[in-house]
Amino acid sequence: MVAFNAAGHALGVLGDELSRDPEASCPEGQFLSTWKYILNKGSFLQTTLTLAWLDGVGQVANLPAARQIGNLPHFHLAMIGDGGALWRGDAGPPGATRLSDRILAACNLDSQQVHALGPAERHVHDFDCWREEALDGPFLCALFTDGIGRGIGKRPLTLLDELDRLHAAGVKNSAQQYIEQAIRDHPKEFDDNLTLAVIRAEV
């Protein structure tokens, strides 16, 4: 919560600075009256935000010992806005190859009303998504903006298959490669903000 509020505060401070002298801060080509309205409404500098982190990182490298003492490491996900998150992890006992695919957060593709941080909303009152996953084996997590969500459409879990395929092929930055391929092969579907982060642990 502290990190989100810090981001909202920083955006708010910048908004306040721009509002002190609208004529000087008005973007080129923008009507001053329109710019003043935008400043007063606080409807600029808005951003969605996703944070993901691991705790007990030392145990990730030594899962057998962590299992014995019942102290498994955890993956945490906190999100404001309409981002998406997919998860692929072990679904069976240690050493099993059967995988479990899940949607941790689904992009809201039906509405233009998005919860976001910015000058008008500087503090987080509640998260749009909060998840905790115990790490008991290898996992793959994909975090992405709604532009990726719109591109993959109604079969989001296929993104995990493509990321695994790229990884198996030796691609060092599978997220960047995926976006480049998407823009090249499906420009009409992937025509919005495209941000993709991949977190993988092979333990």
Which is higher by pLDDT, 24 or 43? 24
pLDDT of residue 203: 62
For 76-122, the pLDDT digits (tens) are 999 998 899 999 986 555 445 556 899 999 887 776 677 888 898 88
131 three-class SS: strand
Answer whether residue 137 shows pLDDT above 70.
yes
DSSP character for 172? Answer: S
Mean pLDDT of the chain: 86
Strand (E) or helix (H) holding 5: helix 2-20
Does the domain spanning 2-201 belong to CATH 3.60.40?
yes
Instruction: Give the pLDDT score at 68.
Output: 46
Residue partners of 106: CB distance under 8 A and separation at least 6 = 84, 149, 156
Per 3-state DSSP, what percentage of the chain is helix, strand, and coil (rounded to 5)?
35, 25, 40
pLDDT band per the 50, 70, 90 thresholds, residue 180: very high
% of the chain beyond a pLDDT of 70: 86
Q: Where do the domains of the chain lie?
A: 2-201
Contacts of 28 (CB under 8 A, 6+ apart): none
